[in-house]
Amino acid sequence: MEKTQPARGMRDFLPADVRRREYVIGVVRGVYERYGFEPLETPAVENIETLTGKYGEEGNQLIFKILKRGEHERTGAADLALRYDLTVPLARVVAEYGERLPKFFKRYQIQPVWRADRPARGRFREFYQCDLDATGSRSMIVEAEICAAASDVLAQLGFTNFTIRLNHRQVLAGVLDAAGVAPELHGDALIALDKLDKIGAEGVARELIERGVAGAAGAKLLRFFEGVAGIEKAAESVDVGAPGTEREAFNAAMLGRLVEFLGEHEAGARGVDELRQILQFAEATGAGARIKIDPSLARGLSYYTGAIMEISVPDLAGSLGGGGRYDHLVGMFSKQEVPACGFSLGLERIIVVMTEREMFPADLVSAAADVLVTIWDESSAGDALALARELRAGGLRVDVYPERGDKVGKQFKYASTRGVPFVAVAGPDERARGEVSLKDMRSGEQQTVRSAAAAETLKTLLKGNGDG
């Protein structure tokens, strides 16, 4: 026997799964459209050179490659690859269609991406991202709106305790420069710093040394981040005022500390200013109360150039989504530099958390049909199908019992176990009078109506029961 499980890290979605996914996607799409974003779809497969070199060292290795076909197959060389995210394909699209797209191109894209990663909780090799990007503008209004949209999505899904962590690549670089970390070690230092919340200051110190960032630079860096932790504590004790005071105090203090630490660093100072603008704009949106400056946030993808953000919830180690500004990515595909900023929500992670917390509406797992039409015998199968047709024309979801030999009791049982709320029976008596019997499986009540009125009757009953 061949194994029948899906390939590693890939999943089949049974009907209940698909319903849950479509529910979340529906909310995402609705919010994104309300922010004026337009749908885009791109191929699963890209030319391999489109993808390589865009994600950094790690990302490069996680790209699913597709071997050359035909006579070149033996060489093992790849010329195509499955897309790794939706941002790079967008950049390619923007470069390709240039002027034909609006000046400010706002698109959303909900499609699967593939990563040759090791599967884990909330992490798969094929997963959906719900991306939201705006190209053509350098304004921090874009960042604020994108944070607001992501925040609206989660709020509408029922999340109450998420945080949008916000940082800035230039600020990060500035902090490292100011601490005296050599430019070629920035990457290593960031990887270590990113773990601050997990392994603590001592852990980061150890890792910094391991990665070659030792001595004065490492110490200065850590002192800065210890100061950051102190700000957090201080802010916690100011929470007596209106809601949000703590967070505002924290963000303000954090920006102040950054300015102080960065000193004359020009790019860093500009970054801080951008963060300040984002905070200010976001105050007018639903995201305002969610954003927290986090100077240790780094993010793995190499194409970010400005603000970076990530959404986290307490009960999931990873993030629910992340994004940032990438002003040079489109330029990698064309001479024209096009600034851009975007955000990606991870559908699978949202679903993992929502499933665990039972955040899905109860009626999502509703029955496949509103009514099951039973089959009486050989000769009346045609009548049953005709009745089904009539009910369907009336807008009902209708299942026809497929086997003619089975006793009516069995057919009722089938409807019952599948949760179909109504059963229609047209035996010899009913048919002789042009009628059909309708049984409400939940109340057990049954009534006989003219066939022509069956659809209307059922619709009324379904509406009356309300929770369908």
Partner RNA sequence: UUGGCUGUAGCUCAACGGCAGAGCGUCGCACUGUGGAUGCGAAGACGACGAGUUCGAUUCUCGCCAGCCGACCCA
Residue 408 found at the interface with RNA (CB under 7 A): yes
Calculate the dihedral angle through the C-alpha atoms of 76, 77, 82, 86, rounding to the nearest 10 degrees: 150
Residue 194 found at the interface with RNA (CB under 7 A): yes
Which position among 185, 441, 455, 461 is part of the footprint of RNA (CB under 7 A)? 441
Residue 129 found at the interface with RNA (CB under 7 A): yes
- Exposure string of 154-192, with b = 16+ CB inside 10 Å and e = fewer, is bbebebeebbbbbbbbbbbbbbbbbbebeeebbebbbbb
Residues 81-120, mask of contacts with RNA (x by CB under 7 A): ----x-----------------------------x-xxxx
Which position among 8, 34, 357, 404 is part of the footprint of RNA (CB under 7 A)? 8
CB of 200 to RNA, least distance (A): 11
Please choose, out of 123-131, 139-147, 154-162, 240-248, the segment that lies near RNA by the rule CB under 7 A: 123-131
- Angle, helices 186-193/196-210, rounded to nearest 10 degrees: 150
Q: What are phi and psi of 437, to 5 degrees?
A: -95, 135
CB of 88 to RNA, least distance (A): 12
Residue 123 found at the interface with RNA (CB under 7 A): yes
Count of CB atoms situated within 10 Å of the CB of 368: 11
Residue 17 found at the interface with RNA (CB under 7 A): no
Please choose, out of 36-44, 144-152, 259-267, 316-324, the segment that lies near RNA by the rule CB under 7 A: 316-324
Q: Which is nearer to RNA, 288 or 321 (CB)?
A: 321
Q: Which is nearer to RNA, 96 or 197 (CB)?
A: 197
Residue 346 found at the interface with RNA (CB under 7 A): yes
**Site size toward RNA, by CB under 7 A:** 59
What Rg, from alpha-carbon coordinates, does the chain have? 29
Residue 299 found at the interface with RNA (CB under 7 A): yes
Instruction: Specify the long-range contacts of residues 320-327, CB closer than 8 Å, at least 24 apart.
Output: 320/154, 320/162, 320/345, 320/346, 320/349, 320/350, 320/353, 321/130, 321/150, 321/345, 321/346, 321/349, 323/132, 323/146, 323/150, 324/169, 324/299, 325/143, 325/169, 326/87, 326/91, 327/138
Q: CB under 8 Å to 358, separation ≥6 — which residues?
A: none
Return the SS3 of 392. helix
Which position among 322, 373, 400, 455 is part of the footprint of RNA (CB under 7 A)? 322
Residue 122 found at the interface with RNA (CB under 7 A): yes
Which position among 31, 164, 320, 373 is part of the footprint of RNA (CB under 7 A)? 320
Residue 360 found at the interface with RNA (CB under 7 A): no
Please choose, out of 122-130, 134-142, 242-250, 393-401, the segment that lies near RNA by the rule CB under 7 A: 122-130
Please choose, out of 72-80, 218-226, 231-239, 422-430, the segment that lies near RNA by the rule CB under 7 A: 422-430
Beta-carbon-side half-sphere exposure of residue 195 (alpha carbons within 13 Å)? 14
Residue 317 found at the interface with RNA (CB under 7 A): yes
Return the SS3 of 235. helix
Residue 268 found at the interface with RNA (CB under 7 A): no
Spatial separation of the C-alpha atoms in residues 389 and 383, rounded to whole Å? 10
Whose tokens are 């269609």? That residue is 97
CB of 330 to RNA, least distance (A): 18
Please choose, out of 5-13, 250-258, 279-287, 359-367, the segment that lies near RNA by the rule CB under 7 A: 5-13
Please choose, out of 91-99, 193-201, 284-292, 358-366, the segment that lies near RNA by the rule CB under 7 A: 193-201
- Burial of 275 from C-beta contacts in 10 A (0-12 / 13-18 / 19+): buried
Q: Which two tokens stand for residue 379?
A: 């000769």
Spatial separation of the C-alpha atoms in residues 400 and 369, rounded to whole Å? 10
Q: CB under 8 Å to 347, separation ≥6 — which residues?
A: 21, 24, 25, 28, 110, 127, 128, 129, 130
Q: Which is nearer to RNA, 135 or 302 (CB)?
A: 302
CB of 226 to RNA, least distance (A): 19
Which position among 60, 277, 366, 416 is part of the footprint of RNA (CB under 7 A)? 416
Residue 67 found at the interface with RNA (CB under 7 A): no
Residue 248 found at the interface with RNA (CB under 7 A): no
Which position among 439, 454, 455, 458 is part of the footprint of RNA (CB under 7 A)? 439
CB of 145 to RNA, least distance (A): 19
Q: Which two tokens stand for residue 407?
A: 């006793």
Calculate the dihedral angle through the C-alpha atoms of 240, 241, 246, 247, rounding to the nearest 10 degrees: 160
> Cβ distance 40 to 108 under 8 Å?
yes
Amino acid at 367: A
Contacts to RNA by CB under 7 A: 5, 8-9, 58, 85, 115, 117-125, 127, 129, 191, 194-195, 198-199, 298-301, 310, 317-322, 344, 346, 348-349, 406-410, 412-414, 416-417, 423, 425, 427-430, 437, 439, 441-442, 444, 446
